[in-house]
Structure 1
Amino acid sequence: MTRPPHPPPLGPWDPAPLSEVVTRFSGARSAWWVAGGFAIELAVGRCFRSHDDIDVLLLRRDQRVVQEVLPDWQWWAADPPGTLRPWAPGEVLPLGVHDIWCRPGPDTPWRIQIMLDESEKQDWVSRRNPRIRRPVSTLGAHSVDGIPYLVPEVQLFYKARTPRPKDEADFDAVLPVLTVGQRRWLADAITDTYTSGPHPWVERLRA
């Protein structure tokens, strides 16, 4: 992959269709999950808002899968966060890098964002709070079409730090389909992690 002389701006975006993401990642040699707002919609079972991007979650240990399933694309790492730099073929990204932006070429919009998460043996470990962990086998679910997606309680845990209007919309849409166990896990994770004061979602989760 050619290394451009200067970092690109952080846009524009033209998110790849969900069907394209599924097609490209279906041959991946490791687990992967649709994340972000699309994960919430897959959990709810319907589309209810527009999306500025599309996210795929991988465990950090499986990061090279990105280069395998998108071999002819450009890959840029958010290193440090808020800036982008080329990700070299075969390079192992350091722990501080959690996002990879991907596009077909230098003059095309960004199409897919990759998020990297931490793990220890068979457990997923939150990078925001190492006390928050769960078996990797419980990290995902499948839609009626067989699409793997990040379970909503984990996705909402990410969104809970500083909820934006679209995050509030996601919470409102998925709350009715959360099980008692999912609600309890999310409420406990929020309370243990975001300690600046009472979180507005917790009361609704425990109602």
Structure 2
Amino acid sequence: MNSPDGAHAFSANEADHRWDPWTPSVVAARLASSPVPWAVAGGWALDLFAGEVSRAHDDIEISIPRTAFRQIAAVFPEYEWDVPGDGTLWPYAQAAERADLHQTWLRDPSTGTFHLDVFREPHDGNTWICRRDNTIRLPYTDLLRRSRTTEIPYLVPEVVLLFKARANRPKDDNDFHRILPLLLGYQLARLNSWLGRVHPGHSWLTEIARATGSAPSGQ
């Protein structure tokens, strides 16, 4: 049952049944002319970094500056947008100003199917701000990279892994171990520092220390 603001309870099981994610190439084709600095996030970003598809993906996420969402939405006029959070789904218009909610799901109004999740991220002009620790910041020129084969933009892997560390589901742990040997020294140093601040004592810190021959950060 919907509340007066259009929100309704929304279970993970229902989400699983209603998601039919696009691929990064489909998203990139739609956003090819957009001036917004966007990038594939999550597991797909790690696949673009590694240059191969590692597993099936239940969804697809892109990251954008929060204030640029209307420009992104304008590229998809035939679709509608919902905002999920804490087992509830709101129409975008009813939750757009809530700073604690950043996900925005693109929905086909004719089928109710979700195809894309847009992360509306905090920023200061051309600088990305981590929503879990606002002292962690990167200019977009350092935050985004492009696939060598497809030119699709993606978030740098150390940022993706920082966000995956909190859930630390089996797929996240597998992603970490797959990507760890591919990270350059400065990427390992960033991830080590950030994890030590946001998730002190995380098991990944020990493995990063082993890879770099240094003491775990935050311990």
Question: Do Structure 1 and Structure 2 share a fold, with TM-score over 0.5?
Answer: yes
SS of the residue corresponding to residue 88 of structure 1 reads helix
* Structure 1 equivalent of residue 192 of structure 2: 187
* Structure 1 equivalent of residue 138 of structure 2: 134
Q: Which amino acid letter does the alignment assign opposite residue 199 of structure 1?
A: H
For 1:108-119, what aligned pairs fall within 5 Å after superposition?
Answer: 108-119=112-123
- Counterparts of 2:179 and 2:35, CA distance in 1: 30
Aligned residues: 201
Q: Does 1:154 align with 2:159?
A: yes
Q: Which runs of 4+ in 1 moved over 4 A?
A: none
Q: Which amino acid letter does the alignment assign opposite residue 159 of structure 2?
A: V
* Structure 2 equivalent of residue 69 of structure 1: 75
* Structure 1 equivalent of residue 178 of structure 2: 173
8 Å contact 1:81–1:97 — kept in the other structure? no
- Counterparts of 2:9 and 2:24, CA distance in 1: 25
* Structure 2 equivalent of residue 15 of structure 1: 21
8 Å contact 1:183–1:206 — kept in the other structure? no
Q: Does 1:201 align with 2:204?
A: yes
- TM-score computed with the length of structure 2 as normaliser: 0.84
- TM-score computed with the length of structure 1 as normaliser: 0.89
Q: Which amino acid letter does the alignment assign opposite residue 67 of structure 1?
A: A
* Structure 1 equivalent of residue 214 of structure 2: none
Per-residue CA deviation, residues 85-137 of structure 1 (Å, 9 max, x unaligned), is 11239x95331220001122242321111111111233211111112112221
* Structure 1 equivalent of residue 61 of structure 2: 55
8 Å contact 2:9–2:87 — kept in the other structure? no
Per-residue CA deviation, residues 159-182 of structure 1 (Å, 9 max, x unaligned), is 111200111111111111100000
Structure 1 unaligned residues grouped into runs of 5+? none
- Counterparts of 1:109 and 1:126, CA distance in 2: 29
* Structure 1 equivalent of residue 147 of structure 2: 143
In the TM superposition, residue 146 of structure 1 has moved relative to its aligned partner by 0.6
SS of the residue corresponding to residue 93 of structure 1 reads coil
Aligned-residue RMSD, C-alpha: 2.1
8 Å contact 2:7–2:88 — kept in the other structure? no
